[in-house]
Structure 1
Amino acid sequence: MTSPLGKLFGRSPIVPIQQHMQLAQETVQLLCELLSASADQDWTRVAAIHSVIDNTTAEARKLRREIRQHLPRSLLLAVPRSDLLELLDIQNRITVCVREIARPVALRGMQFPAPLRTVLDKLCSLLAATVGEALTAIRELDELISQGFGKHERKIIAKMLSSLERQVRRCDTQQQRLVRQLSKVEDSFPVLDAVFYHQIAAALAELGDACGEVGEQLELLLAR
Structure 2
Amino acid sequence: MVTSNPFSAIFGRSPFQPLLEHIVKVDDCAEQLLPFFETTLAGDWTQAGIHRENITRLEHEADDLKTELRLNLPNTMFLPVSRSDLLDLISAQDKIANKARDISGIMMGRKMQVPDALAPSMRDYLRTSVACVNQAREALEELKGLLESGFGRAVSDVIDNLVRELHHLEHQVDSQQVAVRRRLFELEATLPPVDVMFLYRVIDGIADLSDRAERVGDRLQVMTAK
TM range (shorter): over 0.9
Question: How much has 1:173 moved relative to structure 2?
Answer: 1.1
Other-structure match for 2:73: 71
User: Does residue 19 of structure 1 match 2:7?
Assistant: no
Question: How much has 1:12 moved relative to structure 2?
Answer: 3.2
Paired with 1:50 and 1:163, the residues of 2 have a C-alpha distance of 29
The answer to whether the 8 A contact 2:129-2:207 is kept is: no
CA offsets 1:65-91 (integer angstroms, 9 cap, x no match): 111111121221221111111111111
Alignment identity in percent? 29
User: Does residue 149 of structure 1 match 2:151?
Assistant: yes
Indicate which of 40, 43, 65 corresponds to 1:41.
43
Other-structure match for 1:161: 163
CA offsets 1:28-61 (integer angstroms, 9 cap, x no match): 1111111111001011101111111111111111
The answer to whether the 8 A contact 1:144-1:154 is kept is: yes
Aligned positions of 1:1-224 closer than 5 A: 10-224=12-226
Read off the aligned partner of 1:93 and give its amino acid letter: K
**Structure 1 stretches (4+) deviating beyond 3 angstroms?**
none
Paired with 1:175 and 1:71, the residues of 2 have a C-alpha distance of 38
The answer to whether the 8 A contact 1:172-1:208 is kept is: no
Paired with 2:213 and 2:178, the residues of 1 have a C-alpha distance of 17
Question: How much has 1:162 moved relative to structure 2?
Answer: 1.2
Q: Secondary structure at the match of 2:51?
A: helix
Read off the aligned partner of 1:205 and give its amino acid letter: A
The answer to whether the 8 A contact 2:130-2:210 is kept is: no
Paired with 1:190 and 1:92, the residues of 2 have a C-alpha distance of 34
Q: TM-score, normalised by structure 1?
A: 0.93
Cα root mean square deviation, aligned: 1.4
Paired with 1:22 and 1:63, the residues of 2 have a C-alpha distance of 11
Structure 1 unaligned blocks of 5 or more: 1-7
Question: How much has 1:9 moved relative to structure 2?
Answer: 6.6
Other-structure match for 1:5: none
Paired with 1:147 and 1:173, the residues of 2 have a C-alpha distance of 37
Read off the aligned partner of 1:155 and give its amino acid letter: D
Question: How much has 1:97 moved relative to structure 2?
Answer: 0.9
Q: Secondary structure at the match of 1:114?
A: coil
Matched residue count: 217
Read off the aligned partner of 2:145 and give its amino acid letter: E
Paired with 1:143 and 1:168, the residues of 2 have a C-alpha distance of 24
Paired with 1:11 and 1:137, the residues of 2 have a C-alpha distance of 21
Paired with 1:203 and 1:128, the residues of 2 have a C-alpha distance of 12
Read off the aligned partner of 1:151 and give its amino acid letter: R
